[in-house]
Amino acid sequence: MCTRAITPTAELPAELRSTLPSARLMGTAVLRFFGLRVYEARLWAAPGLLPEDYARHPFALELVYDRKLEGAAIAERSIAEMRRVGSFTEEQARQWLDLMKQAFPDVVAKDRLLGLNDGQGNVRFFHNGRQTAQLRDADYARLFFGIWLAPQTSAPAMRTSLLGQG
């Protein structure tokens, strides 16, 4: 479950100032689990992002955590959510899970994870501004960011808020 949580004072994350300087905050949303805040999501995008073709546009998805979570659990949950968006092989799942375990360290309250999609299949991950992983895989980019942005998401209200359509 999510609720809209506009944060008008949010500044462009430092890791985007050189890679995506024209990005603007499209929308924010809060993920809650049994009423407890898990994280606030923020979608940063250059002008012209088309929701139906999100993976082909440069953008960043920033998650600011409200609680302690294990990185391995975040990675495993990501694979499960990616399966809602589209199909992929068990080999892809293993490779992507390994990558995400490297990309997503354990987090505590106020930690930031940011995924940067260049619109051409390149994805970079950052933890509190430090790059943790990168890969070039358009299928991965579409499916991973589809957790939040695809019509098949398990959190359609979050998608609507992130895309600024709420």
| 121-166: pLDDT as tens digits | 999 999 999 999 999 999 999 999 999 999 999 999 999 999 998 6
- In this predicted structure, the answer to whether residue 9 has a pLDDT above a threshold of 60 is no
Percent of the chain clearing pLDDT 90 (strictly above): 86
Helix (H) or strand (E) holding 79: helix 71-85
- Looking at residue 53, what DSSP letter applies? G
Report pLDDT for 135: 97
The count of C-alpha atoms lying within 13 angstroms of the C-alpha of 73, restricted to the half-sphere facing its C-beta, is 5
pLDDT digits (tens, 9 = 90+) for 92-113: 999 999 999 999 999 999 999 9
Q: Give the Å distances, CA to CA, from 78 to 17, 75, 108, 123, 142.
A: 27, 5, 18, 15, 13
Q: Is the pTM of this model over 0.85?
A: yes
